[in-house]
């Protein structure tokens, strides 16, 4: 019986030891796992923390010192409430003084947004003014450059011109006209040009009619203005120095003929000086009752003086007028239909035009 009890106790001790051993093993395993988790957490925390430089550390320390100083001043003010009351009284006094100044000077309070908008508008105006000033300065520089590169014109010495005594034009005088322009002189044979135009018109006038009517009890024909102008645009009279063109007269019943110099025509000064020149031969063919009339463009005044002296040598009467490089005549032999209504007639002029005279 004693042996059986001993075996039972031994078995119980073995079970107890096994249990203790298992518990200790579990604790060791848990301790190891806890150590591993702690290492991983510390590593993650270290990775999460951003390293700082010495400058950042100093800045952080200075900010912390400032905060601590502010806390100290706050504690000081909290311990002495009379200082807070004194500061409040000073601020209130300053605000009251500012309000009084604004009321006295009548200075309106401007909101910050309104002020910023006004500043922006003024800045835009300033930028526009700067841009305009830059453009003006650039234009000034361009004009200065052009002025510096422009050659100085050579001014010819003034010439003394003899002005003859004026005398009236004979009533039955016939005119021979010359255009003096482009340093050349052009003979305008008005009689020949008008005769050639009328001869051509009479040959084709039946095709140019617009309507037939009665005037002063007689048959009267009115011609188509468009047809007449188009007809003479294709059939111009052949003249030596000038070209004759029939011009429209939209509100009128009579057309105009304009005589203009032909290109590469006319005579220069060197061409009219020889005694056998075509210009002097033409002067010799004129009758003594002929009046030589010069239409002078200002750029060719010197040439006119030379041509005029040759007229004086032939004892021919002469006159001149400043005009453009053209001469106009009116076609009075027939009438055309106006293309538009004539403007209302105004009051008659009170000043008479100057009378032509001979030099």
Q: For residues 316 and 322, is the Cβ–Cβ distance under 8 A?
A: no
Residue 357 confidence (pLDDT): 66
Reported as half-sphere exposure (CB side, CA atoms, 13 A), residue 91 has a value of 6
Residue 196 confidence (pLDDT): 94
Reported as half-sphere exposure (CB side, CA atoms, 13 A), residue 193 has a value of 26
Is the pLDDT confidence value at 211 over 50? yes
Residue 129 confidence (pLDDT): 87
Residue 352 confidence (pLDDT): 62
Residue 33 confidence (pLDDT): 80
Q: How far apart are CA 153 and CA 147, in angstroms?
A: 12
Residue 313: closest CA among 272, 283, 285, 279: 283
Residue 116 confidence (pLDDT): 82
Q: What is the mean pLDDT of the chain?
A: 83
Q: For residues 252 and 338, is the Cβ–Cβ distance under 8 A?
A: yes
Residue 351 confidence (pLDDT): 59
Most confident segment among 45-59, 65-79, 134-148: 134-148
First to last CA, the chain: 185
Kind and range of the H or E run holding 247: strand 242-247
Q: What is the pLDDT of residues 133-191, one digit of tens each?
A: 888 889 988 888 888 888 877 766 666 666 666 677 777 788 999 999 999 999 999 99
Residue 283 confidence (pLDDT): 93
Tokens representing residue 51 in the block: 């390293």
Tokens representing residue 4 in the block: 């059986």
Residue 159 confidence (pLDDT): 62
Strands 218-223 and 335-336: parallel
Is the pLDDT confidence value at 92 over 70? yes
Residue 329: closest CA among 297, 293, 303, 300: 293
Q: What is the pLDDT of residues 315-346, one digit of tens each?
A: 888 989 998 899 999 999 999 999 888 777 66
Q: How far is CA 125 from the centre of its chain?
A: 21
Q: How many helices (H) and strands (E) does the chain have?
A: 9, 12
Q: What is the DSSP letter of 270?
A: H
Q: What is the pLDDT of residues 1-25, one digit of tens each?
A: 455 555 666 667 777 777 778 777 7
Tokens representing residue 244 in the block: 């004759």
pTM (2 decimals)?
0.53
Residue 109 confidence (pLDDT): 57
Residue 1 confidence (pLDDT): 46
Residue 95 confidence (pLDDT): 81
CA-based radius of gyration for the chain: 58
Residue 53 confidence (pLDDT): 75
pLDDT confidence band for 50 (50 / 70 / 90): low
Residue 17 confidence (pLDDT): 76
Angle at 80 between CA 78 and CA 84, to 5 degrees: 75
Q: For residues 283 and 314, is the Cβ–Cβ distance under 8 A?
A: yes
pLDDT confidence band for 104 (50 / 70 / 90): confident
Q: How far apart are CA 166 and CA 356, in angstroms?
A: 9
Q: What is the DSSP letter of 85?
A: H
Q: Which residues pair with 175 in a beta bridge?
A: 291
Q: What is the pLDDT of residues 251-303, one digit of tens each?
A: 999 999 999 999 989 999 999 999 999 999 999 999 888 999 999 998 899 99
Residue 344 confidence (pLDDT): 75
Q: How far apart are CA 315 and CA 294, in angstroms?
A: 16
Q: How far is CA 236 from the centre of its chain?
A: 43
The residue among 42 and 232 whose pLDDT is bigger is 232
Q: How far apart are CA 252 and CA 222, in angstroms?
A: 12
Q: Is 283 exposed, middle or buried (0-12, 13-18, 19+ CB in 10 A)?
A: buried
Q: How far apart are CA 239 and CA 329, in angstroms?
A: 15
Tokens representing residue 298 in the block: 């200002």
Kind and range of the H or E run holding 34: helix 2-48
Tokens representing residue 269 in the block: 């000064």
Residue 186: closest CA among 247, 240, 245: 240
Q: For the sheet containing 242-247, what is the strand order?
A: 242-247, 256-261, 327-330
Average pLDDT for residues 32-57, to the nearest whole number?
72
Residue 342 confidence (pLDDT): 73
Residue 108 confidence (pLDDT): 58
């Amino acid at each position: 019986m004693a042996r059986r009890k001993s075996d039972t106790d031994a078995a119980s001790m073995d079970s107890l030891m096994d249990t203790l051993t298992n518990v200790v093993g579990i604790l060791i395993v848990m301790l190891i796992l806890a150590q591993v988790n702690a290492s991983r957490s510390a590593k993650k925390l270290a990775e999460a923390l951003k390293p700082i430089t010495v400058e950042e550390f100093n800045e952080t320390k200075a900010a912390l010192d400032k905060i601590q100083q502010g806390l100290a001043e706050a504690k000081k003010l909290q311990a002495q409430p009379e200082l807070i009351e004194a500061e409040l009284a000073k601020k209130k006094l300053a605000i009251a003084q500012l309000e009084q100044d604004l009321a006295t000077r009548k200075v309106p309070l401007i909101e910050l947004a309104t002020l910023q908008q006004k500043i922006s508008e003024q800045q835009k105006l300033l930028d526009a003014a700067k841009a305009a000033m830059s453009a003006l300065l650039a234009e000034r520089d361009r004009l200065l450059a052009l002025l510096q590169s422009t050659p100085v014109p050579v001014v010819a010495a003034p010439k003394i011109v003899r002005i003859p005594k004026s005398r009236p034009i004979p009533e039955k005088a016939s005119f021979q006209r010359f255009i003096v322009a482009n340093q050349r002189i052009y003979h305008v044979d008005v009689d020949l040009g008008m005769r050639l135009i009328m001869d051509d018109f009479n040959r084709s006038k039946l095709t140019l009619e617009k309507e037939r009517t009665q005037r002063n009890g007689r048959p009267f024909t009115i011609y188509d203005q468009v047809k007449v102008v188009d007809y003479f645009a294709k059939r111009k009279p052949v003249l030596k120095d000038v070209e004759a063109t029939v011009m429209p007269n939209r509100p009128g019943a009579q057309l105009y003929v304009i005589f203009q110099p032909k290109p590469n025509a006319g005579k220069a000064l060197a061409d009219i000086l020889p005694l056998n020149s075509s210009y002097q031969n033409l002067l010799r063919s004129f009758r003594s009752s002929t009046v030589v009339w010069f239409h002078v463009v200002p750029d060719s005044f010197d040439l006119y003086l030379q041509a005029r002296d040759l007229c004086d040598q032939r004892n021919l009467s002469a006159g001149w007028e400043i005009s453009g490089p053209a001469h106009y005549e009116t076609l009075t032999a027939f009438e055309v239909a106006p293309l538009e209504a004539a403007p209302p007639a105004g009051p008659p002029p009170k000043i008479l035009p100057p009378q032509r005279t001979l030099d």
